[in-house]
Amino acid sequence: MPLDRPHPINSLGFAKPPAETRVVVAMSGGVDSSVVAAELAAEGYDVVGVTLQLYDHGAALAKKGACCAGRDIHDARRVAETMGFPHYVLDYEDTFRAAVIDEFADSYLAGATPVPCIRCNERVKFRDLLETARDLDADCMATGHYIQRKDGENGPELHSAADADRDQSYFLFSTSPEQLAFLRFPLGHLHSKAETRALATKHGLSVADKPDSQDICFVPNGDYAAVIKKLRPGAADPGRIVDTEGNDLGEHRGVIHYTVGQRRGLGIGGLETPLYVVRLDVDRREVIVGPKELLATRTVPLKEINWLGDAPLTSRAEWPVEVRVRSTRPPRSAILRPLSDTTGTVELLTPEEGVSPGQACVFYDPESSRVFGGGWITKG
């Protein structure tokens, strides 16, 4: 009688045939997640596509260049029909508003510069949708994010994408070890978006030439202020523009129209020294401006730290790391000093300009592509 031999490990890391491996694919309707679903279906996996309806369906139909809009739901459905796997649309409007949009409005009004895409990944896609995937008896959940998951000595590790220009590690720093064990990122090893589009063409997908999303999905044309005014009527009350000594320089049209580091559009021309927004005082309805050197920050206080290192965060007084304080900036050398399991400070070895509360500070291993997590920048 022949002995049962263990099945070789498949491309998703399971010791069974692809046909017996169920994978839920989070499909936004864009080319990235569509290619993930198509590739896995072509490999013979038991693919289930899920698209989240996150905000007003009627308004979404007219909005291009954002994920999770009405036309994107149709695009995701067409991909599923082309590749022959089931596709479901889940109404997450209430969840999305409570977990993402309301906090976005409140933190913006508090003078912070929020990053709602991180909260969406953390609180909706990698929490609620991930639980839905488990309820569907999936072995794992795959997304179209450009980031890598690698098996390390102590479990799965998060690593930057092979393509530095498309790396999305900044937006995924709050992924927990438990979530990482269930997640897969099949595009993280690709070296260009052209490779992704070529795969879409190979599978005959209608989204092969679809433009990338640019805006925050619920913020049309990047107009934050218009969205805040709609969510929080009265939030655009005018106030004073003052310098760091409290001298009155003019009137502004509402704190929500300004961000730290802004120079243009202040309406206070004619001064010898260019002035930048250095702070927002929402309670006093003041926009505080000053010279560019006041934007330089060396010490960055953090809260809600998600640590992905092998040893506990507090096991050392200092961690030499590289950090990214905005998604568009390269990592810079720094020292992370933990104060607790979830709080700490980062000392930037070279000061950065425009470090703003509400942004994320993401930690990287100076010696490799590994992501060590990150935290939320708070007011000092």
Catalytic positions are 120, 217
Paired residues of 155 in beta bridges: 152
Task: Quote the CA–CA distance of 298 and 291 in Å, as a whole number.
Answer: 17
Residues 372, 321 contacting (CB under 8 angstroms): yes
- Radius of gyration of the CA atoms of the chain, in A: 23
Q: Using DSSP, state whether 82 is helix, strand or coil.
A: helix
User: Containing H/E element for 346?
Assistant: strand 344-353
* Tokens 């029909």 sit on residue: 81
* Strands lying side by side in the sheet with 140-142: 87-91, 46-53, 22-26, 140-142, 183-184
End-to-end CA distance of the chain: 71
Query: Exposure pattern of 262-281 as b/e (b: 16+ CB <10 Å)?
Result: beeebeeeeeeeebbbbbbe
User: Containing H/E element for 53?
Assistant: strand 46-53
Closest CA to 39 of 200, 214, 267, 226: 200
Task: Quote the CA–CA distance of 49 and 77 in Å, as a whole number.
Answer: 8
Residues 69, 61 contacting (CB under 8 angstroms): yes
